[in-house]
Amino acid sequence: MIELFHVTKEYPGDAPALQDVTVAVGKGEFVFLTGASGAGKSTLLKLIFCDEPATSGQLLLFGRNVAKVSPRAIPYLRRKIGVVFQDFKLLPLRTVAQNVALPLEVQGLPDREIRRKVRLLLRSVGLEHRAGKLPPSLSGGEQQRVAVARALAADPALLLADEPTGNLDPERTLEVMELLSAANARGTTVVVATHDRSLLERYKRRVVMLERGRLVSDGDSVRRMAGEVR
């Protein structure tokens, strides 16, 4: 699904954001990407999302070398990826239903099909009754559930979440994590960037740890917590 070979990402005038990272994520996996602030988690997600190119190394996504994908083809590649951000990135002047419908509109689905899918998605995140509301009138947890519903709208093969629970209280955090786990159970590959140790402890998943742009450990959370992986 995702394969990185000796990937480095540098920004002019700064220390490398990623240095010689080699890692692979298989189909159907649930992976936590962790590390302190500035470790390179978000940068790695940006590379996977084709938002930025790697400075060196190779990144294969769905078996394709991202560096060789033409700019015109990138939107089509992105349609296979759902993304969730800490700050939700919802359009404040569009209703909850319209926000969730965006990826489906982009793909040109008929209106009736879009309405049907949006209803199902909002039901799955427990927000069917909020369909006509504007995002600013929702709580943070509700907004993040809308963002998850939008990320899952186009049935993506891969779901990337960058600190998806960073702005949420523990109860809302669990709600969002349950949605991501449910998506994973349905076959979606999930990569969650987080520095929240409690999540790693609660969910026994594979953990890839970055430190100052370098991959420092890769293993399951139980072994990592026990200090076996370094």
Partner 1 sequence: MNVRPVYFTRRALEGMARGPYVALVGTATVFVALFAVGLLAGVLGGAERVLSAWAGQVRISAYLAPGTDLAAARAAVAAAAPGLEVQAVPAAAALRQLSEELGDQAHVLDGVGPGVIPDAVDVLAPGISLPGARALAAALRALPGVADVDYGNAWLEKLETLVSRARLAAVALFAALAVATAVLVGNTLRLAVFARQEEIEILKLVGATDAFVSTPFLIEGLLQGLAGGALAVGALAGLHALLVPRLQAAVGVAGALRLTDTLPPALLLGLLGGGAAVGLLGSALAVMRSLRRA
Q: Which residues bind partner 1 (CB under 8 A)?
A: 72, 75-76, 78-79, 83, 89-91, 93, 102-103, 105-108, 150, 154
Minimal distance in Å, beta carbon 123 to partner 1? 20
Query: Is 75 in a helix, a strand, or coil?
Result: helix
Q: Which is nearer to partner 1, 75 or 187 (CB)?
A: 75
Q: Between residues 51 and 228, which has the closer beta carbon with respect to partner 1?
A: 51
In Å, the largest CA–CA distance within the chain is 53
Closest approach, Cβ 90 to partner 1, in A, equals: 8
CA 165, CA 172: separation in Å to the nearest integer? 8
Cα–Cα distance measured from residue 44 to residue 30, given in angstroms and rounded to the nearest whole number = 16
**3 state SS of 206:** strand
Cβ 223 to partner 1 shortest distance, Å: 34
Q: Least Å distance between CB 79 and partner 1?
A: 4
Residue placing its CB nearer to partner 1 in the complex, 61 or 215: 61
Cβ closer to partner 1: 131 or 225? Answer: 131
Distance of CA 49 to the CA centre of its chain: 9
Query: What is the C-alpha separation between 175 and 137, in angstroms, rounded?
Result: 19
